[in-house]
Chain A
Amino acid sequence: MNLSELQQHLLAAARRNPPGDQVPYAFEKRVMARITANPPAPAAYGVWLAWSRSLWVGAAACTAIALITCLSVPARADDPGSGSSFSEGVEQDIMAFTDDFDNAW
């Protein structure tokens, strides 16, 4: 038996015979009875949705403020008279830390 062919025939049979779309009599009445007997109403759900949305808006605003703040802080300018650049200053800070670390041990 060619199983692939059998599979194709069976799937073709299913495609040719789609299920019916008949709706039982007064079905919508039963749905409405269930809905009205079982709140919550959409408005209550909407309160929680609005709250969660406002949290996301707040998070986006805070992120934007943080980014603007970081970008607006001026970088340490190189001072030609001091004889050291920003990168040398960072290196000195790091070495000072490690010196302290060595002294602690």
Chain B
Amino acid sequence: MEQSDAELIAAVLQGDTASFEPLVARYSPRVFATARRYARRESEVEDIVQEVWSKAYHKLPSFRSEAPFEHWLMKVAVRTCYDFLRDHQRNRESNFTDLTEPENDWLDSFVRAPESANDEADAARLLVGRLLGMLSPPARMIITLLELEDRSVKEISELTGWSVPLVKVRAFRARSEMRKCLQRIAKKKYL
């Protein structure tokens, strides 16, 4: 019979390290999905997820069973992803000069007829990835959690450890930053 999270955690804290493996197997899909929002290369995604699990293991004594383990793990994951963004912010994309042909075509079709632009096209998805890659770490984190994962300000505050007012200020700045990045696209492409 499958052991519950509480049973596995209790076993790990009593010294049975092997009991951590079922937790890794159980929640890795969720952690991978989170990490893939912040890193492009699969090697970086794996590094992030390994780091998340390493931190989760070493911080396990601080886990309070009042909240589900998954919530606690997501906090560790989000904060690890944020650390990754900060460590790699020098590699942020700075311009849109190397758009692929499908991406250029998608932008052209959007300009001609915005209502008929295909949001499910791969080109749109790639453009979003580039746009997010241009944002600063706090802006990217906020846009991802607020706009893409549709989380509330309170949830973001709990996940990131930022205060609610700070989340609101960063959300405002993130949207402004995103608009400026889009303005640069428009100027470069169409002027």
A contact set with B: CB distance below 8 Å:
1-7, 9-24, 27-32, 34-36, 38, 40-43, 45-46, 49
Contacts and interface: CB of A to CB of B under 8 A. Distances in A.
Given A27-B46, A42-B60, A16 B36 contact: no
Nearest to B26: A28
A21 B54 contact: no
B46 A9 contact: no
Interface residues of B, number: 51
Contacts of A13: 119-121, 124-125, 127-128
Contacts of A38: 54
B23 to A, nearest CB: 9
B157 to A, nearest CB: 21
Contacts of B132: 14
A14 B148 contact: yes
Interface of B: 12-13, 15, 17-18, 20-21, 24-25, 28-30, 32-33, 36-37, 46, 49-50, 53-54, 57-62, 110-111, 114, 117, 119-121, 124-125, 127-129, 131-132, 143, 147-148, 150, 178-179, 182-183, 186, 190
Given A18-B33, A34-B54, A9 B110 contact: yes
A35 B182 contact: no
B33 to A, nearest CB: 4
A46 B128 contact: no
A21 B29 contact: yes
A27 B97 CA distance: 37
Contact of B32 (A16, A23, A41, A49): A23
A14 B37 CA distance: 10
B36 to A, nearest CB: 3
Contacts of B120: 13, 16-17
B128 A11 contact: yes
26 contacts: A1-B190, A5-B114, A7-B178, A9-B110, A9-B119, A11-B143, A12-B119, A13-B124, A13-B127, A16-B119, A17-B120, A19-B33, A21-B29, A21-B30, A21-B33, A22-B29, A23-B29, A31-B21, A31-B24, A31-B28, A32-B20, A35-B54, A43-B13, A45-B58, A46-B61, A49-B61
